[in-house]
Structure 1
Amino acid sequence: MSAVFVAGEVAGRAVPVVAGVLGAGGVAVASLPSRVRMRAELRRRWRTWALSAPLFIGAFFVGRAGAFALAAGLGVVAVGEYARMAGLPRAERAVLVAAAIAVPGAALAGPDPRTTGALLVLAVLAAVCAGDAEQGFTRASRTLFGLLWIPVSLSGLVLLGDTALAVGVAVAFGDVGAWFGGTALGRRGPLARRLSPLSPNKTWAGVAGAAAATAAALAAVGAFTPVLWAAVLAGCVLGDLVESMVKREAGVKDAGSWLPGFGGLLDRIDSLLVALLLVMVVTL
């Protein structure tokens, strides 16, 4: 399967699907009684969804240039949050910011390992040139991880075409499905078992909810295949755990505090990053 598989279908189907779900969700959260503990939090999240969904979908209506602008914008903010959590010096931060723009930019001409290879060298070179014998390897490793996790993953928004839009919609639905699944089924029984010590609130019930929601989303936008669904679902599960691992070592609860209902941008796109990377592996 290639990115052409859903070309022309996803954009047209995504708008009514997302608008319908946002409309229904808005009515639902507005109707919540005051005694519901998470009412304020859910309303903040809905407002963030309502603002971010048109920006995300709208970028794909502009074409590849719009996808590049979206990837670069998300990447610059995300690497800034990651660099703060990882405690990276200024030189490594500059490499990651440059990569956030250069890697999706290079993807406009198609997959190009030369750009990524050059940035991988730069990621190591900063610590080597600094002569850091105490933290150099840690600095270089964290920079390399950040480069692969964020800019390389976000280049999928350009390389995958409309398939990237299908992935974005499915991941968003998957996050909501995981929350509903964990809330409804995650209290007792075999599905209540914790998924990983990295994220104690994540259960197998949440995985079941994400599986159902991602399948429904891909089908709704005309992009369902078993391979694509498996890659998106794996991204939803692993993405959250990867960011939890980073945050736990950094000793922070959220990657930021500016995005209402979520924390930081990385808290919102962690699943999307891994999903895009896995979809590129199985489709390109």
Structure 2
Amino acid sequence: MSAVLITEEAVGRALPLVAGALGVSGAAVAVLPSKVRMRTELRKRWRSWAVAAPVFQGALFFGAGGAFALAAALGVIAVSEYVRIAGLPRAEHLVLVAASVVLPGLAWRAPELLDVRSAALLLVGAALPSLLTGDHASGFTRTARTLVALVWIPVSLTGLVVLGDTAVAVGLGVAFGDVGAWCGGMALGRRGPLARPLSPLSPSKTWAGVLGTAAVTAAVLAVIGAFSVLLWLAILAGCVLGDLLESMVKREAGVKDAGTWLPGFGGLLDRIDSLVLALLLTMVVAS
């Protein structure tokens, strides 16, 4: 059976779950009374979900080619937001944009090239702009920030291509895991030991949210027939640590969000911070 057919089956199994969740949540936010403090924010987020879910599922439905297009598009937008946050020059921006297209393209058409040779080229690409300009004042910082971005965003997004139907499970697990974190925090994170912040980087992220994420991701993977302990742990770690990683980047840069164009979330990187790390960790446990 071809990889495209396998991915079609995975999307087909996930479709009723996604449609049901959008329908139920849409009805819920529609009837929220005006006195609910987060009503406007929740409605914005639902509208973003209503657009993002069909785009994500639809792209993966078309197999590796659709996954490449999705990965490249997400990568180009996300690295552009990262460049603005990190204060990187135009040369590094071009390196990151090129990697966002080339790496998923190689994963699609020539996966055998994604080995230590690619890792060496990533290091050279990250350092080359500073080396050529002789930047002795901030060259190492520029190189380090570029190298982190290369691994964090373009390399991680190649997982949409190489993981096949598992990428569908990762995407669903992360999406519902975020909801689980919010529900867990609201239900259990008001007082007691579970109300303790997970890290000073993001005081609103509590151990109650981690518990909610763990429960919901496990349930979603079980419903679509994709549960395994390693996959569950990779998605859980991605959900929890991905958000903290972006918070660390934004706090150092002194910004609240990666962008302002995505209703309810800020920028694209604010929405996929957990997804990219979950994809990377899934590739580790799946190798």
Shorter-chain TM-score range:
over 0.9
> Given that residues 181 and 208 in structure 2 are in contact (C-alpha distance below 8 angstroms), is that contact kept between their aligned partners in structure 1?
yes
Choose which of 129, 149, 160 in structure 2 pairs with 1:157.
160
Match of 2:228 in 1: 225
Rounded to whole Å, the distance in 2 between the matches of 1:53 and 1:8 is 15
Structure 2 gap ranges (5+) = none
> Given that residues 9 and 222 in structure 1 are in contact (C-alpha distance below 8 angstroms), is that contact kept between their aligned partners in structure 2?
no
Matches of residues 190-209 of structure 1 in structure 2 within 5 Å?
A: 190-209=193-212
Matches of residues 33-72 of structure 1 in structure 2 within 5 Å?
A: 33-72=33-72
Matches of residues 258-277 of structure 1 in structure 2 within 5 Å?
A: 258-277=261-280
1:9 Cα offset (Å): 4.1
Q: Aligned letter for 2:214?
A: A
1:115 Cα offset (Å): 3.2
Match of 1:187 in 2: 190
Rounded to whole Å, the distance in 2 between the matches of 1:178 and 1:59 is 26
Match of 2:134 in 1: 131
- Find the residue that maps to 1:122 and give its secondary structure: helix
1:103 aligns with 2:103: yes
> Given that residues 45 and 265 in structure 2 are in contact (C-alpha distance below 8 angstroms), is that contact kept between their aligned partners in structure 1?
yes
> Given that residues 25 and 46 in structure 2 are in contact (C-alpha distance below 8 angstroms), is that contact kept between their aligned partners in structure 1?
yes
Rounded to whole Å, the distance in 2 between the matches of 1:116 and 1:71 is 19
Rounded to whole Å, the distance in 1 between the matches of 2:28 and 2:66 is 32
Match of 1:254 in 2: 257
Deviations 1:183-206 (A, max 9, x none): 111100111111000001000000
1:10 Cα offset (Å): 2.0
TM-score for both structures, normalised by structure 2: 0.95
Deviations 1:219-252 (A, max 9, x none): 1211001110011001000000000000000100
Rounded to whole Å, the distance in 1 between the matches of 2:207 and 2:118 is 39
1:279 Cα offset (Å): 0.3
Rounded to whole Å, the distance in 2 between the matches of 1:221 and 1:151 is 27
Rounded to whole Å, the distance in 2 between the matches of 1:78 and 1:227 is 27
> Given that residues 123 and 144 in structure 1 are in contact (C-alpha distance below 8 angstroms), is that contact kept between their aligned partners in structure 2?
yes
1:8 Cα offset (Å): 5.4
Q: Aligned letter for 1:234?
A: A
1:117 Cα offset (Å): 2.6
> Given that residues 235 and 281 in structure 2 are in contact (C-alpha distance below 8 angstroms), is that contact kept between their aligned partners in structure 1?
yes
Choose which of 157, 167, 170 in structure 2 pairs with 1:167.
170
Q: Larger relative CO (CA 8 A, sep 6+): 1 or 2?
A: 1
TM-score for both structures, normalised by structure 1: 0.96
> Given that residues 130 and 143 in structure 2 are in contact (C-alpha distance below 8 angstroms), is that contact kept between their aligned partners in structure 1?
yes
How many percent of aligned residue pairs carry the same amino acid?
A: 69
1:175 Cα offset (Å): 0.4
Number of residue pairs the alignment of both structures matches: 281
1:141 aligns with 2:131: no
Question: Root-mean-square deviation (CA), in Å?
Answer: 1.3
Rounded to whole Å, the distance in 2 between the matches of 1:173 and 1:184 is 16
1:262 Cα offset (Å): 0.1
Q: Aligned letter for 2:68?
A: F
Q: Aligned letter for 1:41?
A: E
1:157 Cα offset (Å): 0.3
1:119 Cα offset (Å): 2.8
Q: Aligned letter for 2:43?
A: R
Rounded to whole Å, the distance in 1 between the matches of 2:26 and 2:120 is 45
Rounded to whole Å, the distance in 2 between the matches of 1:63 and 1:137 is 39
1:24 Cα offset (Å): 0.2
